[in-house]
Amino acid sequence: MARALEPQDVLALTGEIGAGKTTFVQGLARGLGVPDGAVTSPSFVLVREYQGRLPLAHADLFRLEKLPEAAAVGLEEYYEGAGVTVIEWASRIPEILPEEFLEVRFEVIDPNTRKIKLVPHGPRFEKREWDLSRRTRNETFGG
């Protein structure tokens, strides 16, 4: 999936705690050329930045409750930058999302199985092919 990402792409990750959002970001970062082990959850700092083929901004809105708090993080600056922005817990404050983004929905099926659904929002994402077929049912992202 990382091969298909372009500058100014925004991915909005949704799903319950433990669904695999951070693990997904770790795998995505690896695909962008970020060193293994570099990506950690940004829960306490809100946004972490990593350098790879494209810069990666990894945000976590879990601890935020209102739009003014989220706006203070400055995500719009990342949206307009040269890299990719990935937002965990995007559904908590949907108003912070740009017009066009790719929603990545995580559903826990059982302790070892996740269902991931990609939902494009806007023509920028509808026109692209998103291939996750290389992973088998028993593989995990980032591991």
The CATH number assigned to the domain with range 2-126 reads 3.40.50.300
Residue 97: pLDDT above 70? Answer: yes
Tokens 């700092």 — which residue?
A: 45
Give the per-residue pLDDT at 142: 36
DSSP the chain: -GGG--TT-EEEEE--TTSSHHHHHHHHHHHTTPPTT-----TTTSEEEE-SSS-EEEEE-TT--SHHHHHHHTHHHHHTSSSEEEEETGGGSGGGS-SSEEEEEEEEEETTEEEEEEEEESHHHHTS----TTS-TT--TT-
Could you read off the pLDDT of 9-23 as tens digits, one per residue? 999 999 999 999 999
Q: How confident is the model at residue 141 (pLDDT cuts 50, 70, 90)?
A: very low
> 63 or 122: whose pLDDT is higher?
122
Give the per-residue pLDDT at 39: 87
Give the per-residue pLDDT at 117: 93
DSSP 3-38: GG--TT-EEEEE--TTSSHHHHHHHHHHHTTPPTT-
Give the per-residue pLDDT at 132: 57
> 64 or 78: whose pLDDT is higher?
78
Mean of the per-residue pLDDT values of the chain: 85
Residue 28: pLDDT above 90? Answer: yes
